[in-house]
Amino acid sequence: MKKIFKAISTLTLGLLLVSSCNVENINATYSPSNDEVSFVQSINVNTEIPTQSTTYDVLIGRNSTEKALTVNIACDITEDLVCPSSVTFQAGESSAIISLDISNMKVGKQYKGKITITDESVINKNIAISAISLTLQKVYTWNSLGEGEWWDNLALMSETSLGIQKVEVLKAEGFERYRIMKPYANTAQLAEAWGASALGGAKNNYIEFWANEDMTVAWDGWWCPGLLYDGAGTDIKAYYPSYLTGDPAEDGKSKFVMEKVVAFYPYWYIDGLGGFGTKYPCFLSLPGGPSLESLLQ
């Protein structure tokens, strides 16, 4: 046992002596043996890219800059993204850009991939980041259209009030896609319609929908108005009908019924209990559209 401790002590002392010899001349501690190309990071995740973008740039660096250098790379990326097979450093430059062509990238879809330096002669395996993993997603650019009106026959209408709410409406730049912002922010009206005991359910901060070519509208899955049907765990949900039933027969009810007025016929449902079908509609008057009160009375 004493011999083991003695060997460890001798090794430690030797390392300390080597380190102390180079304190005043730090450059002598390490000397590059090749071009030492490396990515600047190993992971790039959840990067949101503006819808209009056609390229996405990945930075790659090197230690030696004396001459121009072309480095071969391999890309394991979906076919909607186009990646070059090499990247070139100009003489005197310590960094270069790998530019991905993302013009065919679908908005809202998450893309994952990997780029790898394939030429081992230009990397130092001890310190180089030889590959980078990417997670990319194009996102919509939202612009406010102004203030509209929202009416929900089931969740907001009470015995004494239509419950029409003023709402901000956003539109995705270049797309017929919209967001109704905070349609159920008025908890007092929800309580008037359903009673205070029904409050506390899941609530969407916005409802996102899009218009199809035939002017019908659709949304993903469901939205929640913030109401419970029978206590905790019984959220009332406004399903896109075919998402719940598998039958698209009632999807077409939801559509633009006139310029700047959209009718929604969700399939109201409480998971595990049942629901009310599509007989309770909602209406949105877009900014600049008619008063919903005048249309409903």
- Does residue 280 have a pLDDT over 60? yes
CA gap 152, 292 in Å, rounded: 11
CA distance 230 to 49: 42
Where residue 51 sits, what CATH number does that domain have? Answer: 2.60.40.2030
Domain stop point among 96, 112, 139: 139
Task: State yes or no: pLDDT of 167 exceeds 80.
Answer: yes
Which residues are bridge partners to 179 per DSSP?
A: 170, 208
- The answer to whether residues 132 and 195 belong to one domain is no
Quote the pLDDT of residue 66: 86
Q: What is the pLDDT of residues 59-73, one digit of tens each?
A: 999 988 889 999 999
> pLDDT tens across 79-120, in order?
788 999 999 999 999 999 999 999 999 998 889 999 999 988
Q: Taking residues 3-11, what's their average pLDDT?
A: 29
DSSP codes of every residue in 218-261: E-SSEE-EEEBSSSTT-BEEEE-HHHHHS-GGGGGGSEEEETTE
* 6 domain residue, yes or no: no
Residue 78 confidence (pLDDT): 80
Q: Indicate whether 97 and 150 sit together in one domain.
A: no
Domain with 158, as residue range(s), is 142-296
Rounded distance, CA 62 to CA 94, Å?
5
**Contact between 128 and 93 (Cβ < 8 Å):** no
Query: Both 157 and 291 in a single domain?
Result: yes
Tokens of 27: 């450059």
- Beta strand ranges found along 84-203 (DSSP E): 86-89, 95-101, 110-117, 131-139, 142-152, 165-172, 177-181, 199-203
Residue 101, classified by CB atoms within 10 Å of its CB into exposed (0-12), middle (13-18) or buried (19+), is middle
The answer to whether residue 10 sits within a structural domain is no
Q: Does residue 39 fall inside a structural domain? A: yes
For residues 98 and 121, what is the distance between their CA atoms, to the nearest angstrom? 19
Number of residues in the chain: 297
Per-residue pLDDT of 34-64, as tens digits, reads: 678 999 889 987 788 998 899 999 999 998 8
Same domain? 118 vs 151: no
Does pTM top 0.75 for this prediction? Answer: no
Query: Using the 8-state DSSP alphabet, how is residue 67 labeled?
Result: S
How many domains, in total, are found in the chain? 2
